[in-house]
C-alpha cells in the first residue's frame, strides 16, 4: 500500500524537538469548564491546554487551543472542575486555578497543597481526584496507597483512609450513602464510608474466576458506579457488579485492558488499550465501537454542563497529542491537538 | 415741341384744305394763285422757322453733350486720383507691416539682463545717461557690450586650446618615459625574489594570487576576498587558493573584432562540415546543455584544517550562464580510514555537506531564473548534473554574496560583500563541526559494527555499571525500506523522515528478547538528535501502538536526549542513546510482572534497584536512572 509522504519542511533543531515532543505526548486527564465551553487537558510534560469547544465545533479547528502553560513539574494525572476552579494533580501536589483566569495567558495557580505523605524518599503521584459536593471536599488518591480528604474551604486535610496495599488508580463516588469506591494496583475495590472513615466493603476482583485474567495482572484501572451497580476493569475483564451482593453480573467481552469507564444514560462507555471507544448495553452486548485517532485511550469526558447544551460532546484522549471530539456518539467529529 | 406740334398740325390742315379747294375752281384762278403764293410764302416761313428750331435744338443738344462730357471727365479724374491714393495707401500699409514684422538679428541674441548689463559694462559702453532714456540707444549699447564680451571669450578659447595641445604633448612624453621604466622595475622585482624567500615574506605569491583573482568572476571574487580576510583575522587553519587556467579566463573576455574574425572562420568551417555531416538534433541539444552548464575556468579552493589533522577540501565553481556557485567537497584524514560498511555515506563527497543549514539539500538550483533557461534546453532539474558540477547549496551562494530573494525577483543578482561577510563565520564553524561529527560517527560505526557500544569515560555516569543487553547488529537501511517498516509510521507522518536523512537498524538482544531499533540520522546530527523507533519481539510483538512502555522507552531516548549529549560538541549522542536503549531493555525485561498462571521461573530476574515497579494510570516502568545513587525511578 502506498503511504503518502508528507511535504518536507526544513526542520531546524527546535522544530524537530517539538515534533518529537508531540509524538511522545500522552494526555492523562481532561476536565470541562463550568460554563461548558472550554476543555482543559493535562499531559505527561506537565502542561495544561485549554481548548475552546465552542469555536472547535462551529469553526473548523483553527485556533481552538487557547494556550497551554507549564503547570506541573511532572505529568498531570488527574483534573477535576468545581463551579469556579480547576483542580489539577500530578506529582505529589494538587493545584487550583481559577477558570476565569485560565483563559488568559500567564495565569498563576491560586493555591497548591500537598497531602501529608508518610515517606519522603519518593514523592508519590496523585492518580485520582474526586469531588464530594455535599461536604465541599476533595478526595485525593494515588501512589502512597491512601485516600486523603481535603476540605476545599479551609484547605486542611481532614481524613486519611488506609487499606490498600498497592497504589490507587481510580475513585468513584456513591452519592446516596455517601460512600467512596477506590480501585488499586492490588486488585481490590474498596468501599469507604465517609462519615465513619472506615472501610465498609472489599471486593477482590481477581479472585473471581469469571473476570480474572492473570496474564494481564490484577490491577483495577477504572471504576464507575451507579448507586447499586458498579463497573470496573483493568487487568481483569471489564465487569458489571451488583454492589450489595458483591457478585459479578455481566462480563464484557473485550480483551484489551480498559482504562476509563463511565455510565451514560443507559449505556456504559469504556476506553482503554486500542483505538476505540466502546459502547455497551447493560446486558453485556457491544452496541458500538467508535475508532478514535490515538492508539490507546486513557480518559473520557462527557460535557454535560447545563449551561452549554450546544457543546454536549464526548471527548477522548490518551496516547497521543490529540483529543478526539465525538459530537454524536456514533463517529469521531474532529480532533483538537496540543 | 411746338415745332413738332405745328409740323403735325400742318399736314392735317393741308389735307383738309385740299378738298374744299376743288369746289371753288371757277372763282378765280387769280385768287387761287394769290392764295398759293401766300401759302408758299407761309410755308417758306414755316420752313425757316423749322430750320431755326432744328438748329436751336442741335445747338442745345451739343451744349448739353459738352457739359456732360466735362462733368464726366472731372469725375474720371477724381476717380483716378482716388484709385491712386488707395493704391498708395495699400502700398504704405504693406510697407508698414513689413517694417513692423522686421526682426532684426539682434533680437535673437540672448543679451544679459538689464541690471547685469549696467553692473558689468564699463561706463563708456553703457553710457547710462543716454541709454536710460532712449531704448534704441540702450539696445545698441547692449549689443556693443555683447560683442565685446564675445571677442574676449573667443580669445580665451583660443588660448586654452593651445594650452591643451601643449599639455597633451607633455603627457605623451611622460608616458613613454614610464613605459620605459616598467621593464626595469620587473627586473628589480625578480632580483628581490630570493630576498623574500630568505625572509619568509611571500608577498610575491600573494601578489600572484591577487593577480589571478582579478580574473575571477564576481561571486568567486567575493568569496576569495572574504575567505582570505576571515582566514587572516580569525582562523589560521583556513587556507585559500585559486585553481584553474587564467588564460582561459582571459579568453572569455576577448574583444569583439576577434570574435567576428572567429565567426567568419567558423562560418567557413561550418559550411564545410555541413556538406560532410549534419549533427543530429540530440547532439545539438546536448551541446546546448553543455553550453548552459559551462563552468568558469577558475575555481577557488578552501582548505579547512580541524584539530585532529583532518582536512576538509572545498572547491567552489561558478556556473556562468546560470549565475550560481557550486561546491565539491572532500575529506582527507591524517591517517588512512578503514570505512566500516555502514559508514559508507557518512563522508561521501556527495552527502557530507547536505543540510548544513536545515533544508539546504543542494539538489535544486537556488536561482529561480534558471528554470526558464532549463526549459529551453530540456534540462529537467540540476540534480542530474550535481555529481560533476558540484552542489549549489544556499550557503555557498551566500558566501559568494549572491542573494536570490523569493518575494521580489531581481533582474540581475550582483555579488555582495556584506552578505558574504555576515555568513562566513557561522558557515565555517558549521563546516568544521560537521566534519568532526562525521569523523566521530565514522569511528563509532566501526565499533558499533562489532557489537560494542563505545561509551566514553566522561559519559559513563549516565548508565549503571552492569548492562546485560548487548548490541548485536548495526546496518544501514535504505530510505524506502525504512518507510515500509510497520512501526515507523508515526515518524514518517510527522515529516521527520525525508530523503536527505540516513537510516540505520540496530538490534539489541538479551536472552530470547530481541529489540529492533530503526534510527533516523539527520544530516545536522548532534544538533538535531537521531530519532529511534522500537519494536520488541518477546512474548509477542510490542511496538509503541500496543505497549505504553515501549512508547515510554522511545520517549526516553528521543525526547530526553539532552541529558545524553555529553560534553560539547556532543559527538557521543548516538552511542549514549544506544547504551541507554540497552539499559531500558534491561529494566523492561526485569520489571515485567510475573504471570502467576504460567509455570516456571522468571526469565529475567530483577537485578536493578527500583523504588516502585509501576506508577501512574498507564503503569509505567521505572526508566529513569539516578546517578550516583544507582536506582531507577519514574520521570
From the list A21, A214, A221, the residue facing B597 with the nearest CB is A214
pLDDT value for B58: 96
Which ipTM value was assigned to this complex? 0.87
A185 to chain B, any CB pair closer than 8 A? The answer is yes
Task: For B588, list phi and psi in degrees, rounded to 5.
Answer: -60, -50
Please give the pLDDT value at position B388.
82
Question: Which domains does chain A possess?
Answer: 25-74+264-337 (no CATH), 115-251 (2.130.10.10)
Q: In chain B, how many H helices and how many E strands?
A: 19, 11
Across B102-125, average pLDDT: 75
The nearest CA of chain B is from the CA of A301 a distance in Å of 16
Q: Which residue has the higher pLDDT, B158 or A60?
A: B158
Rama region for B619: left / alpha / beta (φ>0; ψ in -120 to 50; rest): left
Q: For residue B633, what is the nearest residue in chain A, using CA coordinates? A: A122
Q: What is the DSSP letter of B412?
A: S
Q: Calculate ∠ Cα B319-B324-B327, nearest 5°.
A: 80
Query: Would you give the DSSP letter of residue A253?
Result: -
Q: For residues A184 and A124, what is the distance between their CA atoms, to the nearest angstrom?
A: 14
Query: Cβ of B616 and A127 within 8 Å?
Result: yes
Q: Scanning every residue of chain A, which has its alpha carbon at the shortest distance from the alpha carbon of B497?
A: A8
B427 pLDDT tier (thresholds 50, 70, 90)? confident
Work out whether strand A247-251 and strand A188-193 pair parallel, antiparallel, or are unpaired: unpaired
A219 touches chain B (CB under 8 A): yes
Backbone angles phi, psi at A328, to 5 degrees: -115, 135
* Banded model confidence at residue B407, pLDDT cuts 50, 70, 90: low
User: Pick from B231, B227, B432, B200: which is nearest to B325 by CA?
Assistant: B227
Tell the residue number behind the cell numbers 551566500, with chain if given: B398
Closest Cα in chain A to B500: A8
Q: Does A298 lie at the interface with B, CB-CB under 8 angstroms?
A: yes
If one compares B353 and B48, the residue with the highest pLDDT of the two is B48
Half-sphere exposure of B203 (CA within 13 A, CB side): 10
Write the residue in A7, A15, A127 that is nearest to B617 by C-beta: A127
Cβ distance A143 to A130 under 8 Å?
A: no
Residues of B in contact with A10 (CB under 8 A): 357-360
φ, ψ (nearest 5 deg) of residue A38: -125, 150
pTM equals 0.71
- Confidence bin at B162 (pLDDT 50/70/90): very high
Contact B611 A121 (CB under 8 A): yes
- A2, A3, A16, best to mutate vs chain B, most B CBs in 10 Å: A16
State the nearest Cα–Cα gap between B329 and chain A, in angstroms.
22
Residue B67's pLDDT band, with cuts at 50, 70 and 90, is very high
Residues 6 or more apart whose Cβ sits within 8 Å of residue B360: A10, B354, B393, B394, B395
Determine the distance from the C-alpha atom of residue B209 to the mean position of all C-alpha atoms in its chain, rounded to a whole number. Answer: 30
CA distance between the termini of chain A: 30
pLDDT at A66: 59
pLDDT of A293-318, one tens digit each? 888 899 998 888 888 777 788 889 98
Bigger pLDDT: B543 or B347? B543
Say which of B358, B618, B619 has its CB closest to residue A12: B358
Residues B251 and B259: their CA atoms lie apart, in Å, by 10
Facing B545 at nearest CB: one of A10, A215, A295: A295
Chain A contacts of B616, Cβ < 8 Å?
28, 75, 77, 125, 127
The rounded distance, in Å, linking the Cα atoms of A248 and A141 is: 25
* β-strand pairing of A27-32 with B324-332: unpaired
Indicate the burial class of B212 (C-beta count within 10 angstroms; 0-12, 13-18, 19 or more): middle
Residues of chain A contacting B529 with CB distance shorter than 8 Å: 16-17, 20
Q: Report percent pLDDT > 70 for chain B.
A: 87
The torsion angles phi and psi of B355, rounded to 5 degrees, stand at 55, 45
Q: Check A19 against B548: CB less than 8 A apart.
A: no
B239-253: string of b/e by CB count within 10 Å (b at 16+)? ebebebebeebeeee
Phi, psi of A124 (to 5 degrees): -75, 150
* CB hemisphere CA count around B379 (13 angstroms): 23
User: Which residue among A3, A21, A28 sits closest to B617, beta carbon to beta carbon?
Assistant: A28
The dihedrals phi and psi of A173, each to the nearest 5 degrees, come to -110, 130
Residue B583: name the closest of B560, B600, B601 by CA: B560
Interchain contact, B545 vs A8, CB within 8 Å:
no
- Rounded to an integer, the average pLDDT of B144-167 is 93
State residue B380's pLDDT score. 76
More confident residue, B4 or B284: B284
pLDDT in tens, B220-262: 888 888 888 888 888 778 888 888 887 887 777 765 444 444 4
Q: Which of B551, B593, B611 is facing A217, going by the closest CB pair?
A: B593
Among A9-13, B177-181, B328-332, B436-440, which stretch is predicted with the lowest mean pLDDT?
Answer: A9-13
**Nearest 5 degrees, angle CA B234-CA B239-CA B242?**
135
Strand partners, A42: A29, A48
Helix, strand, coil shares, percent, chain B, to 5: 55, 15, 30
Q: What is the pLDDT of residues B477-536, one digit of tens each?
A: 888 888 888 888 888 888 888 888 888 999 999 888 899 999 988 888 878 888 999 999
Question: What is the rounded CA–CA span in Å between residue B189 and residue B204?
Answer: 9
Query: A94: which strand partners?
Result: A89, A113
HEC string of B110-169 equals CCCCHHHHHHHCCHHHHCHHHHHHCHHHHHHHHHHHHHHHHHHHHHHHHHHHHHHHHHHH
What are the cell numbers at B4?
Answer: 413738332
Which residue in the set B495, B524, B611 is minimally distant from A122, CB to CB?
B611
Grid cell for residue B528: 538535531
pLDDT in tens, B16-44: 454 455 555 666 888 999 999 999 999 99
Supply the pLDDT for residue B286. 80
Higher pLDDT pick, B154 / A336 = B154
A5/B616 Cβ within 8 A? no
Closest CA to B300 of B378, B200, B225: B225
pLDDT at A208: 87
Task: Supply the pLDDT for residue B74.
Answer: 97
Position with higher pLDDT, B309 vs A269: A269
User: By C-alpha distance, which of A120, A85, A43 is closest to B616?
Assistant: A43
Q: What ranges in B318-461 are assigned the alpha helix state H?
A: 370-377, 386-389, 394-399, 417-449
H-helix or E-strand containing A132?
A: strand A126-132
Residue numbers in B near A26 (CB within 8 A): 548, 551, 618
Please indicate whether, in this complex, the C-beta atoms of B617 and A169 are within 8 angstroms of each other: yes
Mean pLDDT is highest, among A301-310, B179-188, B339-348, for: B179-188
B370: helix, strand or coil = helix
CB A338 within 8 A of CB A25: yes
Residue A11 contacts B, CB cutoff 8 Å = yes
Give the list of residues 6+ apart from residue B82 with CB closer than 8 angstroms, or none.
Answer: none
Residues of chain A found within 8 Å of residue B550, distances taken between Cβ atoms: none
Which member of A7, A20, A298 has the closest CB to residue B618?
A: A298
* Interface A-B: count of C-beta contacts within 8 A: 112
- What pLDDT does B158 receive? 96
B598 — pLDDT class (breaks 50, 70, 90):
low
In terms of pLDDT, which residue wins out, B346 or A204?
A204
Say if the Cβ atoms of A20 and B597 lie within 8 Å: no
Please tell me which residue of chain A has the smallest CA distance to B595.
A215
Cell of A217: 495482572
Average pLDDT over chain B reads 82
Per the CB < 8 Å rule, is B489 touching A3?
A: yes
Query: In this predicted model, which residue has the larger pLDDT, B100 or B107?
Result: B100
Delimit the domains of chain B by residue range. Answer: 46-99, 111-200, 203-251+282-435, 450-631
**pLDDT per 10-residue tile (average), chain A, 338 residues:** 45 84 89 87 87 67 56 86 88 86 77 82 86 88 88 88 89 85 90 87 87 86 88 90 88 89 89 89 88 88 82 87 86 83
Among chain B residues, the shortest Cα distance to A20 is held by: B559
Contacts of A171 (CB under 8 A, 6+ apart): A128, A129, A130, A139, A141, A147, A180, A181, A182, A183, A223
Residues of B in Cβ contact (< 8 Å) with A219? 614, 619
Q: Which of A6, A17, A170 sits opposite B495 (nearest CB)?
A: A6
Contacts of B524 in chain A (CB under 8 A): 13
Chain A nearest-CA residue for B526: A13
Check CB contact under 8 Å for A259 and B598.
no
Longest dimension (CA), chain A: 64
For an interface test with B, the pick among A11, A21, A275 (most B C-beta atoms closer than 10 Å) comes out as A11
- A144 and B CB contact within 8 Å: no
Could B498 and A143 be called an inter-chain contact, meaning their C-beta atoms sit closer than 8 Å?
no
Spatial distance between the Cα atoms of B474 and B390, rounded to a whole number of angstroms = 31
What single DSSP character describes residue B107? Answer: G
List of chain B residues whose C-beta atoms are within 8 Å of the C-beta of residue A3: 483, 489, 492
In chain B, residues with a C-beta closer than 8 Å to the C-beta of A295 are 544-546
Is A26 at the interface with chain B, CB within 8 A?
A: yes
Of A7, A17, A296, the CB nearest to B548: A296
Per-residue pLDDT at B270: 47
User: Cβ distance B215 to B320 under 8 Å?
Assistant: no
- At residue B184 the predicted structure's pLDDT band, cuts being 50, 70 and 90, is confident
For residue B601, say if its preceding peptide bond is cis, omega within 30 degrees of 0. Answer: no
Amino acid at each position: 500500500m502506498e503511504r503518502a509522504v508528507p511535504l518536507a519542511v526544513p526542520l531546524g533543531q527546535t522544530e524537530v524537538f517539538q515534533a518529537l515532543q508531540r509524538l511522545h505526548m500522552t494526555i492523562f486527564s481532561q476536565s470541562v469548564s463550568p460554563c461548558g465551553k472550554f476543555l482543559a487537558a493535562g499531559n505527561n510534560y506537565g502542561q495544561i491546554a485549554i481548548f475552546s469547544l465552542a469555536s472547535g465545533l462551529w469553526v473548523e479547528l483553527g485556533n481552538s487551543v487557547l494556550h497551554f502553560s507549564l503547570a506541573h513539574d511532572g505529568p498531570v494525572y488527574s483534573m477535576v472542575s468545581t463551579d469556579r476552579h480547576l483542580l489539577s494533580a500530578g506529582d505529589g501536589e494538587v493545584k487550583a486555578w481559577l477558570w476565569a483566569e485560565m483563559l488568559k495567558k500567564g495565569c498563576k495557580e491560586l493555591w497548591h497543597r500537598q497531602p501529608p505523605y508518610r515517606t519522603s524518599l519518593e514523592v508519590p503521584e496523585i492518580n485520582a481526584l474526586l469531588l464530594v459536593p455535599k461536604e465541599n471536599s476533595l478526595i485525593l488518591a494515588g501512589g502512597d496507597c491512601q485516600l486523603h480528604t481535603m476540605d476545599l474551604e479551609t484547605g486542611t486535610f481532614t481524613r486519611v483512609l488506609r487499606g490498600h496495599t498497592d497504589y490507587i488508580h481510580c475513585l468513584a463516588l456513591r452519592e446516596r450513602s455517601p460512600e467512596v469506591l477506590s480501585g488499586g494496583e492490588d486488585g481490590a475495590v474498596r468501599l469507604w464510608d465517609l462519615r465513619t472513615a472506615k472501610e465498609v466493603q472489599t471486593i477482590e476482583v481477581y479472585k473471581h474466576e469469571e473476570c480474572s485474567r492473570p496474564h494481564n495482572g490484577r490491577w483495577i484501572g477504572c471504576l464507575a458506579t451507579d448507586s447499586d451497580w458498579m463497573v470496573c476493569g483493568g487487568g481483569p475483564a471489564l465487569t458489571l457488579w451488583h454492589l450489595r451482593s458483591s457478585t459479578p453480573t455481566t462480563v464484557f467481552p473485550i480483551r484489551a485492558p480498559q482504562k476509563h469507564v463511565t455510565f451514560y444514560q443507559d449505556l456504559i462507555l469504556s476506553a482503554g488499550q486500542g483505538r476505540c471507544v466502546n459502547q455497551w448495553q447493560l446486558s453485556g452486548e457491544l452496541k458500538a465501537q467508535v475508532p478514535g485517532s490515538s492508539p490507546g485511550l486513557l480518559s473520557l469526558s462527557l460535557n454535560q454542563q447545563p449551561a452549554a447544551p450546544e457543546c454536549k460532546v464526548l471527548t477522548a484522549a490518551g496516547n497521543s497529542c490529540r483529543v478526539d471530539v465525538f459530537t454524536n456518539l456514533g463517529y469521531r467529529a474532529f480532533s483538537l491537538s496540543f | 415741341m411746338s415745332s413738332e406740334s405745328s409740323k403735325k398740325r400742318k399736314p392735317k390742315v393741308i389735307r383738309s384744305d385740299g378738298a374744299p379747294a376743288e369746289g371753288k375752281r371757277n372763282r378765280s384762278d387769280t385768287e387761287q394763285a394769290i392764295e398759293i403764293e401766300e401759302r408758299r410764302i407761309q410755308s417758306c416761313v414755316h420752313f425757316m422757322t423749322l430750320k431755326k428750331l432744328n438748329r436751336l435744338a442741335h445747338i442745345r443738344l451739343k451744349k448739353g453733350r459738352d457739359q456732360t462730357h466735362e462733368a464726366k471727365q472731372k469725375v474720371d479724374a477724381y476717380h483716378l486720383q482716388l484709385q491712386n491714393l488707395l493704391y498708395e495707401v495699400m502700398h504704405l500699409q504693406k510697407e508698414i507691416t513689413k517694417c513692423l514684422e522686421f526682426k532684426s538679428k539682434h533680437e535673437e541674441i540672448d543679451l544679459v539682463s538689464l541690471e547685469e548689463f549696467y553692473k558689468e559694462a564699463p561706463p563708456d559702453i553703457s553710457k547710462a545717461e543716454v541709454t536710460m532714456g532712449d531704448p534704441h540707444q540702450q539696445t545698441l549699447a547692449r549689443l556693443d557690450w555683447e560683442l565685446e564680451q564675445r571677442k574676449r571669450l573667443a580669445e580665451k578659447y583660443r588660448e586654452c586650446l593651445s594650452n591643451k595641445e601643449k599639455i597633451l604633448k607633455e603627457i605623451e612624453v611622460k608616458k613613454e618615459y614610464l613605459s620605459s621604466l616598467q621593464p626595469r622595475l620587473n627586473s628589480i622585482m625578480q632580483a628581490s625574489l630570493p630576498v623574500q624567500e630568505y625572509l619568509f615574506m611571500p608577498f610575491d605569491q600573494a601578489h600572484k594570487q591577487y593577480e589571478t583573482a582579478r580574473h575571477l568572476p564576481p561571486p568567486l571574487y567575493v568569496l576569495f576576498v572574504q575567505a582570505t580576510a576571515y582566514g587572516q583575522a580569525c582562523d589560521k587553519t583556513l587556507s585559500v587558493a585559486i585553481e584553474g587556467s587564467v588564460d582561459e579566463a582571459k579568453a572569455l573576455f576577448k574583444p569583439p573584432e576577434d570574435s567576428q574574425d572567429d565567426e567568419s572562420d567558423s562560418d567557413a568551417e561550418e559550411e564545410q562540415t555541413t556538406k560532410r555531416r549534419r549533427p543530429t538534433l540530440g547532439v545539438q541539444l546536448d551541446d546546448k546543455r553543455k553550453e548552459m552548464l559551462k563552468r568558469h575556468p577558475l575555481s577557488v579552493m578552501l582548505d579547512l584544517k580541524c584539530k585532529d589533522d583532518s582536512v576538509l577540501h572545498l572547491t567552489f565553481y561558478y556556473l556562468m550562464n546560470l549565475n550560481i556557485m557550486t561546491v565539491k567537497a572532500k575529506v582527507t584524514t591524517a591517517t588512512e580510514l578503514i570505512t566500516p560498511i555502514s559508514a559508507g555515506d557518512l563522508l561521501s563527497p556527495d552527502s557530507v555537506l547536505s543540510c548544513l543549514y536545515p533544508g539546504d539539500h543542494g539538489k535544486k538550483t537556488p536561482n529561480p531564473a534558471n528554470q526558464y533557461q532549463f526549459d529551453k534546453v530540456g534540462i529537467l532539474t540540476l540534480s542530474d548534473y550535481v555529481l560533476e558540477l558540484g552542489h549549489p547549496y544556499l550557503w555557498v551562494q551566500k558566501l559568494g554574496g549572491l542573494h536570490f530573494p523569493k518575494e521580489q525577483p531581481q533582474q540581475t543578482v550582483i555579488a555582495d560583500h556584506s552578505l558574504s561577510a555576515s555568513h562566513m563565520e557561522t558557515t565555517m564553524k558549521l563546516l568544521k563541526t560537521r566534519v568532526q561529527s562525521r569523523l566521530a560517527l565514522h569511528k563509532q560505526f566501526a565499533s558499533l559494527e562489532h557489537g560494542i557500544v563505545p561509551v566514553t569515560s566522561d559519559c559513563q555516569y549516565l548508565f549503571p555499571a552492569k548492562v546485560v543487553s548487548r548490541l548485536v547488529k548495526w546496518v544501514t537501511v535504505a530510505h524506502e525500506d525504512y518507510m515500509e517498516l510497520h512501526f515507523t509510521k508515526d515518524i514518517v507522518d510527522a515529516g521527520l523522515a525525508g530523503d536527505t536523512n540516513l537510516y540505520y537498524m540496530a538490534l539489541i538482544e538479551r536472552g530470547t528478547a530481541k529489540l529492533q531499533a530503526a534510527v533516523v540520522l539527520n544530516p545536522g546530527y548532534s544538533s538535531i538528535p537521531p530519532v529511534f523507533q522500537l519494536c520488541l519481539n518477546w512474548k509477542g510483538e510490542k511496538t509503541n501502538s500496543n505497549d505504553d512502555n515501549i512508547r515510554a522507552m522511545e520517549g526516553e531516548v528521543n525526547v530526553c536526549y539532552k541529558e545524553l549529549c555529553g560534553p560539547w560538541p556532543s559527538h557521543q549522542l548516538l552511542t549514549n542513546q544506544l547504551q541507554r536503549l540497552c539499559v531500558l531493555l534491561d529494566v523492561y525485561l526485569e520489571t515485567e510482572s510475573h504471570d502467576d498462571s504460567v509455570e516456571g521461573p522468571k526469565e529475567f530476574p530483577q537485578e536493578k534497584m527500583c523504588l516502585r515497579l509501576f506508577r501512574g494510570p498507564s503503569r509505567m516502568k521505572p526508566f529513569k536512572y539516578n546517578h550516583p545513587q544507582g536506582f531507577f525511578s519514574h520521570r
